[in-house]
Structure 1
Amino acid sequence: MLTVQKLRVEYKENPVGLDVRFPRISWQLQSEKRDVLQQSYEIEVSAEADFRRRLWSSGRVYSEQSSHVELAELMVRSRQRYYYRVRVWDMEDRSTEWSETAFWEMGLLAQEEWQAEWISAPLSLLDVEAEQCPLLRGSFHTAAKPLKARMYATALGLYELELNGSRVGDGYLTPGWTSYGQRLQVQAYDITAQIAAGENAVGAWLGNGWYKGNLGWDNRRHIFGSRTALLMQIHLTYEDGSEQIFATGENWTAAAGPILMSELYHGESYDARLELSGFSRAGYDDSRWSRVELITHSKEMLVAQANVPVRKIEQIKPLKLLKTPAGETVLDMGQNMVGWMQFSLDAPRGRQVELVHFEVLDRDGNVYTDNLRGARQKITYIAKGGGPESYEPRFTFQGFRYVQLTGFGEEPSLQDFTGIVLHSDMERTGFFACSNPLINQLQHNILWGQKGNFVDVPTDCPQRDERLGWTGDAQMFIRTSAYLMNVAPFFTKWLKDLSADQLDNGGVPFVIPNVLGENEHSSSAWGDAAVICPWTIYQCYGDKRILEEQYPSMQGWVEYIRQQGQDEYLWDTGFHFGDWLGLDAKPDSYKGATDTALIATAFYAYSVQLLQKTAGVLGRTEDARQYSELHSRIKEAFKHEFITPSGRLSVPTQTACVLALMFGLVEGTAKERTTDKLLKLLEESGHHLTTGFVGTPYLNLVLSEAGHTDAAYKLLLQTDYPSWLYQVTQGATTIWEHWDGIKEDGSFWSKDMNSFNHYAYGAIGDFLYRHVAGIELDEAYPGYKAFVIKPQPGGGLTWTAAALETMYGRICSEWNITADQLEMSVSVPPNTSATLYLPKADLPRVLEGDVPLEHAAGVHSTEQLEHEVKVILGSGDYKFSYKLGAQ
């Protein structure tokens, strides 16, 4: 039986508050049959859940498309809820039933619809330098219980709202971090259940956040503005169709709240004695509060939230309570995590307790905070007394495994502490495990590195005074991140900020949102995020719209490079980070030894190639032709500049070889010699890498694609320094910034730049999925409409199991080797097809289930190749088995 399931709008399930004028619908098919393809579909949209009043119908559309179907003819209206359902026909012209009904709801689509005014605590109450956070309050009356109630809210700074004593929504760090001067997100909430007939009250907490708080390492504050403010509007709809609006305005009041200090880097100080209990409830006496001030601030930049919210995702209980040699009381959470501690205590009024969060103990087993640099990561709480009380922060987060406790007494109870894991609530899509427990721990570390650093923006580290959206780190890790989680909404939002912050000449700031100096922009491999990230999202999710929206940005970046220096086909001018943290760097340098002009020109070529492909996808034929010609000329210039007449690469480093091979800049003899040179360099280093941020993501991929998977496995499985598994053997639970963040003698690489949760080197996850498990894109069929499964067993692994939840459903690839027998299980989602390569297989010996391969249902074709069997599969679940060996 064929059914339609997992209906989504703009990647989201039943979203409220969209501002996408032409929403896109996606769905999946489910069937126990093999070889299922969609022949046609029909979508209906209604104003009511029972579809009595149909607003729009696609009619029967003959197409296999089941993701990102744009409702281009539907004219959407602000605040309207739209119900939709889908049915499909298969290739045998059999129809499904209608899917279950799903919906989306539009937000406020026009600036004119905002009656709310920006309100702020008066400067006479809290001046711009005050660290104490304000509370705001307003009340309104309803004649009856409304049929529908919606709240739309945003802030300058961070906000948290309460309605009639209950928290509104489950998002944190709202409204999120964007390029505030041009884009400020609005959250929409369904508050129908929280509204009462009669008197109602709204209370708001405001925090500094990214808007006016401390950002960067120069102790800068007020980067985007100096005053926190709230903008909030409630729309009530009654049974008779009448409406009422309640909004922020001059009749609201303000008071200084119990949060004495709140900073993203430094933590929070909270005096429970100053709590104003019940301030968000009707009837609260606010006669001693101050009137708010209306402030002038534009509403032109208001946009609906595109990313998934930051939420509390999971809880961790501490593993143990430590007494350090220095006498410190420390909680060990057992996992380097990001979020905060929730704790309870029963203490006399005025008792002060402190929690200092940090990542590692020093080699003597004592508290180590030097690598936090200026970030304090401290929570201070002053008890109100009178019985048990509990606390957790609101407007900060910490990166930590350990927590030093002060003021809790000699033997605090572990039961009183809970770690709250916080990150953007991305759907988990990728799963990988194998027979080697060290690699499984590495996969765990990669995943937790993504959890800790995808907190609304892709941060470089979650603990020290940085936590910025470095462009280079993001493009290096994006493909791995798209295996682990659905990151399409996350990067859609971030890339819009990249476009917003992009310079008029096309240059790209080092960090997005940009909080660095006006000259901090446009390094190769960093700025290339403008091109690499949209192309990767398109490839992984079939999202053509992101290419359309980002095309001016992509083109702007390429044209910026083209204007640099004397030769438009080489990039040999300007500042570049180079192969950042490469192990072949000179002493006291962070830059690896690879010539920055080679790196810059290689990435120039790569970005031009991707832009050419993007132009082709978008039907920009002339652009595609011009960029194809430009790419050819850059390749020729690269050859002239960096390849000797005899075909040798003139820069003899691992990273130079990797980039030349990965980006297709060497061919024929030069390609062979570059591959041989890379293998020789690895041999000379004892088969260890010397690459930094630029070369490492591609190293194992290049080796495997050149037919040297054995060399890639050797690198992967090294356990001594420098290697991925060295970190694992040192007890890492996330990916480190440095290969030797902790040295073998227990000392540290550096205190200045030594994060133990830094996802860049986690890009090795790409190799695990694409080559070890073998799940790979087919570039011609983006979004895994058609894909490749080509596992490459090796490294002594006896089994691997991986799965990837795509827009079409779950892909699975599992292989198991016992003696000379290989068994492989594969899942191909309905409405897709796969090209499977069975390694070391002899076609006549391959069984699918207990049937010879060529006779199995769903198998479209088979072909014996030199070292493998190629199989074209329709959808379904398959089990293959055969004896390994030559034909």
Structure 2
Amino acid sequence: MEPLGTTDGRIDAVGTADQGVRFAWTPTGPQTAVRVVVRDGDAVVWDSGPVATSEPWLRSPSGVRFAPWRRHDWEARIDSGASVTTARGAFTPAPTDERAWHDADWVAATDGAPETDHARERSRDGSLAAPVLARTIAAGAPVTRALLAVTAGGHVDVRVDGRLATDEVLSPTTTHWDQRVQVVLHDLTPAFADGGGHDLGLELGRGFFGMTNANVWAWERAPWHAEPRVRALLRLEREDGAVEVIGTGPDWTARRGTILLDDLYGGEIHDLRRRPGRPSAGAVRPAVVVPGPGGRLEARLEQPIRVVEELVPDSVVETAPGEWVVAFPRVIAGWVRLRLPGGAAGSTVRIRYGERLRADGLPNADDEKHYFADGFQTDEVTLDDDAVTWEPRFSYKGFRYVQVSGWPSDAGPAPSDFVACVVRTDAAVTSTFTVDDDLLQWIHDATVRTMENNLHGYPTDTPKYEKNGWTGDAAVGADMFLTDLDAAAVLTKWVGDLAETTTPGHPPALIAPNAGVFGVDERAPVWHAALATVPWDLYRHTGDPAVLGAHVETIEEYARFELSRSPGGIADTILGDWVAPGTDPGGGNPPEDSRVPATAFLVRILDTVARIDDVLGRDGSWAATAADDVRRAFVDAFVVDGVVRGPRDEGFRQSHQVLALAFDVVRSPADRASIAAALAADVRARGDHLDTGAIGTKWLLPVLTDAGYADVALAVARQTTVPSWGAWWAAGATSTFEHWDLAARSHGHYFLGTVDDWLTGYVAGLRPVSPGWRRFLVAPAVCGAVGAASCSVRTPYGTAGVRWSAAGGVVTLTVDVPPGTTAEVRLPDGSSTEFGPGSHTVSSALA
């Protein structure tokens, strides 16, 4: 079988970058060299020549630019030393050179920035309604290819003749519009193929570009803040050889549509009486040419956001007269689609979304911390006379339950009137995990669902409340994102967002993207470390150093800065082991000496910089030396009587012990053994409970297992009383919470689900050793106490997998090793072996 070829991670990709393109294939056998040839029609536009490499990918050099709009075909001739196989693919670059856009203006319904005071109330007059920019495309010869390039301040729904022409939502993705503006390329050939006249419409949503709902993260004060705007180019290739390029400009029209207000946090207000042809429809006026955002054009490389799944209700119950609660099977990110009856013009249906139910039986759609000035998680739709299927378009919510008020029928709604639309970045699941323990299986499944709920162009911290790309969350979650999901592209995009918040003499912001107000110039190396560690995790999982090369200077600059503000090698942080047991359910630091985690993370930052420099052939000796200096400072200040203790600690802190061991901060074998023993003893003394928060939890069970306390780790994982994953499970949760307390504000945070690293890497026993999974470890650590487990991960070389079962004192283990890789297998009886490509089965006595 011919190997499958992908371009920038996609098959037959439309809208790629025009340089630095990554060509990849799944190997079918050994590889010693490869030659990639790219053609535009019959013309060869790039020939790599023979390249000696065993890696199943090759990236074109930055000096080679492929023509936008043009379909390019490529082939990789893969040499095994004995035979040659061929992988093939195709791609079409997006136009990102400003010269390609000379035929298109930025257009909007109006210029300027929206007023934010009482926008929800003021929106009723239509002045803030989502604009629809439109143009009639004249008839001509049949169309062989129709491509639409779109870039926007905000989001764009594309319609042809009034019907949605793509399956994307919330597109393009949020960026720092003053630094990067995404270009999205849509293939609209099916809509224009007949050559007839068609109406092209672009409806604009506000997103984080033109937000009207004032909030604590100050998106309404961003430097780019303005009314939504769009710039687009439609390119039609006709059968007669003609090529037409039609750009947005003053010859387009603008009208205010049915969406009176759209707000990522507050929800949407729709008035269906404003549909075209109705008496209340918005007036059609010429489009206004406006200034565009100042950022450079960049092709969107991460997967689009889509409705990826639809769920039907478990129940629909009238909890009070006229108040209906619709329950769905699980917590999701997205919205509800309604089938609304006709004959009730002027009636307004209100939908409030919540992840859990309050004591009164209604969904918790409350803004408890007063983050928002003008509404939260609420949609409203006013009907006209027609029955209609309706859904929001430019806001997503975190929810399991919805409260429906004002249903325009005495009989009330039926379950068939509701569909929950799951909305997220369309990143495929790339792993499998099974275990013969219901709780451990639930932990994995709930964690993956929660990660999926937090992918919307970047990793977010909750789909309900903040929708922000918190650095600490991404730092602890990157490993499991890259193991379980096809998340490399979206994390790479986010690293670019984060790097843009960093300037000389300043740390990265606490959230990215960022409006430039919140979390800027803080002292939080525990969170800032993401700037170094997430690119490193990307390299570990993909084997591709491009992300390291793109940001190494920024990473080095930040590491030097953090070191410079850490006198004597002792760092400090405003954010430590967040939401550890005993803290406020709404969030907080534990009573710990914040210098301990900060200094441990300073070691990790410096070690990571040294490793990055080594990969890139740079001199990282300064970072390695500084890391050792900080290690000595840490031991002198915080290692006391064989445990890690800060002078400002209130009691024993599990997380301090975990970080000292996980980051190799403490290297003395005697101290390491003492610290591990103290950690295990504290867990036992707490009745097999953890006492770690968002930071320490990721490494707690791996550290215990590596130190010889796998039984303690398993006892923690199987715990069912607070604080534990099992307590959530016993309470009927379907996702992972923001806090161990069952009163947790959010049921949509993944950062306490990082135990998944231990489930896949230690229970099943599968984890990478060398970059790109070129070499991986198979080392199940709880055989016997657990009866069976399996895990598979789609790596750049193919699927790596393990499945094992224990019975009668014997463990039978099967390892699947992709071409070009090696598995190091450590068996329960203490022996070890290595396997090359193929499927291998081996047995071992239990230890």
TM-score w.r.t. the length of structure 1 is: 0.88
* Equivalent residue for 2:91, pick from 92, 100, 104: 104
Q: CA deviation at 1:89?
A: 3.3
The C-alpha deviation readout for 1:666-721, integer Å capped at 9, x for no partner, is: 12222122112212221221221111112111111111111211111011000011
Partner amino acid, structure 2, of 1:594 = E
1:464-863 aligned at under 5 Å gives the runs: 464=465, 466-515=466-515, 516-517=517-518, 519=520, 521-567=522-568, 569-572=569-572, 575-583=573-581, 585=583, 590-620=588-618, 622=619, 624-644=620-640, 647-651=642-646, 652-666=652-666, 667-740=668-741, 742=742, 748=743, 754-778=745-769, 781-794=770-783, 796-840=785-829
Partner amino acid, structure 2, of 1:112 = R
Q: 1:17 to 1:764 in 2, by over 3 A?
A: same
Q: 1:830 to 1:329 in 2, by over 3 A?
A: same
Counterpart-to-counterpart distance in 1, 2:71 and 2:474: 35
Q: 1:559 to 1:287 in 2, by over 3 A?
A: closer
2:406 corresponds to: 407
Task: Answer with 585-594 or 797-806: which moved more.
Answer: 585-594
1:49-64 aligned at under 5 Å gives the runs: 52-64=42-54
Counterpart-to-counterpart distance in 2, 1:288 and 1:689: 61
Q: CA deviation at 1:871?
A: 1.3
Q: Is the contact made by 2:542 and 2:773 (CA closer than 8 Å) also made in structure 1? A: yes
Counterpart-to-counterpart distance in 2, 1:474 and 1:414: 37
The C-alpha deviation readout for 1:173-203, integer Å capped at 9, x for no partner, is: 0111111110111100122232253533211
The C-alpha deviation readout for 1:567-599, integer Å capped at 9, x for no partner, is: 3x2214xx5111111225599982112211111
Counterpart-to-counterpart distance in 1, 2:805 and 2:57: 33
User: What SS does the aligned partner of 2:494 have?
Assistant: helix
Unaligned runs of 5+ in 1: 31-35, 280-285, 743-747, 841-867
Partner amino acid, structure 2, of 1:40 = A
Q: CA deviation at 1:125?
A: 14
Counterpart-to-counterpart distance in 1, 2:520 and 2:112: 38
Q: 1:389 to 1:595 in 2, by over 3 A?
A: same
Counterpart-to-counterpart distance in 2, 1:658 and 1:518: 27
Partner amino acid, structure 2, of 1:46 = R
The C-alpha deviation readout for 1:137-179, integer Å capped at 9, x for no partner, is: 1223354233332211121122111123332322110111111
Q: Is the contact made by 2:178 and 2:295 (CA closer than 8 Å) also made in structure 1? A: no
Q: CA deviation at 1:790?
A: 0.9
Partner amino acid, structure 2, of 1:401 = R
Counterpart-to-counterpart distance in 2, 1:446 and 1:26: 29
Counterpart-to-counterpart distance in 2, 1:705 and 1:218: 40
Partner amino acid, structure 1, of 2:718 = L
Partner amino acid, structure 1, of 2:810 = Q
Q: 1:433 to 1:526 in 2, by over 3 A?
A: same
The C-alpha deviation readout for 1:491-534, integer Å capped at 9, x for no partner, is: 11111111112133241111101134374534121111100100
2:205 corresponds to: 207
1:179-190 aligned at under 5 Å gives the runs: 179-190=176-187
Counterpart-to-counterpart distance in 2, 1:252 and 1:643: 69
Q: 1:53 to 1:296 in 2, by over 3 A?
A: closer
1:296 corresponds to: 291
User: What SS does the aligned partner of 1:554 have?
Assistant: helix
Counterpart-to-counterpart distance in 1, 2:112 and 2:539: 51
Q: Is the contact made by 1:125 and 1:290 (CA closer than 8 Å) also made in structure 2? A: no
User: What SS does the aligned partner of 1:38 have?
Assistant: coil
Q: Is the contact made by 1:812 and 1:828 (CA closer than 8 Å) also made in structure 2? A: yes
2:110 corresponds to: 122
Counterpart-to-counterpart distance in 2, 1:821 and 1:244: 70
Partner amino acid, structure 2, of 1:688 = H
Q: 1:795 to 1:576 in 2, by over 3 A?
A: farther
Q: Is the contact made by 2:216 and 2:518 (CA closer than 8 Å) also made in structure 1? A: no
Same amino acid, percent of matched pairs: 26
Q: 1:500 to 1:586 in 2, by over 3 A?
A: closer
User: What SS does the aligned partner of 2:549 have?
Assistant: helix
The C-alpha deviation readout for 1:740-771, integer Å capped at 9, x for no partner, is: 1x2xxxxx35xxxx101111111111001111
Counterpart-to-counterpart distance in 1, 2:384 and 2:450: 37
* Equivalent residue for 2:70, pick from 80, 84, 95: 80
1:133 corresponds to: 130
Task: Answer with 314-323 or 793-802: which moved more.
Answer: 793-802
Q: 1:253 to 1:812 in 2, by over 3 A?
A: same
Counterpart-to-counterpart distance in 2, 1:430 and 1:625: 37
2:423 corresponds to: 422
User: What SS does the aligned partner of 1:412 have?
Assistant: coil
Q: Is the contact made by 2:113 and 2:225 (CA closer than 8 Å) also made in structure 1? A: no
User: What SS does the aligned partner of 2:580 have?
Assistant: coil
User: What SS does the aligned partner of 2:531 have?
Assistant: helix
Counterpart-to-counterpart distance in 2, 1:256 and 1:613: 54
Counterpart-to-counterpart distance in 1, 2:275 and 2:509: 42
Counterpart-to-counterpart distance in 1, 2:631 and 2:323: 59
User: What SS does the aligned partner of 1:13 have?
Assistant: coil
Q: Is the contact made by 2:458 and 2:469 (CA closer than 8 Å) also made in structure 1? A: yes
1:308 aligns with 2:303: yes
Q: CA deviation at 1:332?
A: 0.8
Unaligned runs of 5+ in 2: 120-126, 647-651
Q: 1:231 to 1:877 in 2, by over 3 A?
A: same
Counterpart-to-counterpart distance in 1, 2:36 and 2:348: 60
User: What SS does the aligned partner of 2:138 have?
Assistant: strand
* Equivalent residue for 1:47, pick from 40, 44, 50: 40
The C-alpha deviation readout for 1:3-37, integer Å capped at 9, x for no partner, is: 4423111222221122241212111123xxxxx42
Q: 1:288 to 1:435 in 2, by over 3 A?
A: closer
1:166 aligns with 2:140: no
Q: CA deviation at 1:229?
A: 0.9
Task: Answer with 346-355 or 372-381: which moved more.
Answer: 372-381
1:152-551 aligned at under 5 Å gives the runs: 152-195=149-192, 196-213=194-211, 214=213, 216-217=215-216, 221=220, 223=222, 224-239=224-239, 241-276=241-276, 289-298=284-293, 300-324=295-319, 328-348=323-343, 349-363=345-359, 365-370=361-366, 373=369, 374=372, 376-386=376-386, 388-408=387-407, 409=409, 410-464=411-465, 466-515=466-515, 516-517=517-518, 519=520, 521-551=522-552
User: What SS does the aligned partner of 1:697 have?
Assistant: helix
The C-alpha deviation readout for 1:787-815, integer Å capped at 9, x for no partner, is: 11111125832111211111111111111
TM-score w.r.t. the length of structure 2 is: 0.92
Q: Is the contact made by 1:578 and 1:596 (CA closer than 8 Å) also made in structure 2? A: yes
1:880 corresponds to: 842
Counterpart-to-counterpart distance in 2, 1:367 and 1:585: 25
Partner amino acid, structure 2, of 1:593 = P
User: What SS does the aligned partner of 1:85 have?
Assistant: strand
Counterpart-to-counterpart distance in 2, 1:735 and 1:634: 35
2:122 corresponds to: none
Task: Answer with 124-133 or 681-690: which moved more.
Answer: 124-133
Counterpart-to-counterpart distance in 1, 2:498 and 2:217: 23
